[in-house]
Chain A
Amino acid sequence: NAGVTQTPKFRVLKTGQSMTLLCAQDMNHEYMYWYRQDPGMGLRLIHYSVGEGTTAKGEVPDGYNVSRLKKQNFLLGLESAAPSQTSVYFCASSYARVRTDTQYFGPGTRLTVL
């Protein structure tokens, strides 16, 4: 199993450009998450999905959109990138979101917005 994979690993954008980050998992997990990690702030949840076709807002959803058309994929979109969105983005998945479940993380995507 590859686990959780993310593409691309690195990306540089100019302000106003758009892009989509792809997260894929091969563990048949129902739940998927997108986080951003910034220095001194830990990880913050952007959006999450509790199943195919569903999405929900997390702690910092503004400026991002997501889609979960297939169970194994969770896409994070930036329609008009801003320098404040420079960050490392992590995708995670879990089988179920009960208190004993654990999240499995991808390797991250380092995004720089100039």
Chain B
Amino acid sequence: SQELEQSPQSLIVQEGKNLTINCTSSKTLYGLYWYKQKYGEGLIFLMMLQKGGEEKSHEKITAKLDEKKQQSSLHITASQPSHAGIYLCGADKVGNNNDMRFGAGTRLTVKP
């Protein structure tokens, strides 16, 4: 089965610092989704990547999908306390559009 590994599991950064979260798949990714979850709340969709080499940005968050489509990175520039939360990557299960797999998540803490 397709596994998604996220690294690091947790991250503590000082406000204003940049950071990167990685999501690695054991198989080719056909659709890679990034979500953010605040403690005790549901997931909020951030971005979706499909094509190898694709890069998308929203405010200070940039996500990339590598050319081989087996790894994605989420980069936050000049982090703020509002960026704190759990970031999860998700991907379509190969061969089944209706099934989705998620990574275990990266817990981000931003110290003011």
Query: Which residues of A, 49-80, contact B by the 8 Å Cβ criterion?
Result: 50, 56, 58-59
Asked if A107 and B41 make an inter-chain contact with CB atoms under 8 angstroms apart, the answer reads yes
Work out how many contacts link A and B, with CB atoms closer than 8 A: 61
Known A31-B98, A45-B100, A97-B97; judge A103-B45 contact (CB<8 A).
yes
The secondary-structure label for the interface of chain B is strand
Whether A90 pairs with B42 at a CB distance below 8 angstroms is yes
| Minimum distance in angstroms from B7 CB to a CB of chain A | 13
Interface set of A (CB-CB < 8 Å, partner B):
4, 31, 33, 35, 40-45, 48, 50, 56, 58-59, 90, 92, 97-100, 102-108
B interface with A by C-beta (< 8 Å): 4, 30-31, 33, 35, 40-45, 48, 50, 88, 90, 92, 97-105
Known: A42-B88, A108-B41. 6 other contacts (CB 8 A): A40-B104, A41-B104, A58-B99, A92-B43, A105-B43, A108-B40
11 pairs, CB–CB < 8 Å, chain A vs chain B: A35-B102, A42-B88, A42-B101, A45-B101, A99-B30, A100-B48, A102-B33, A103-B45, A105-B42, A106-B42, A108-B42
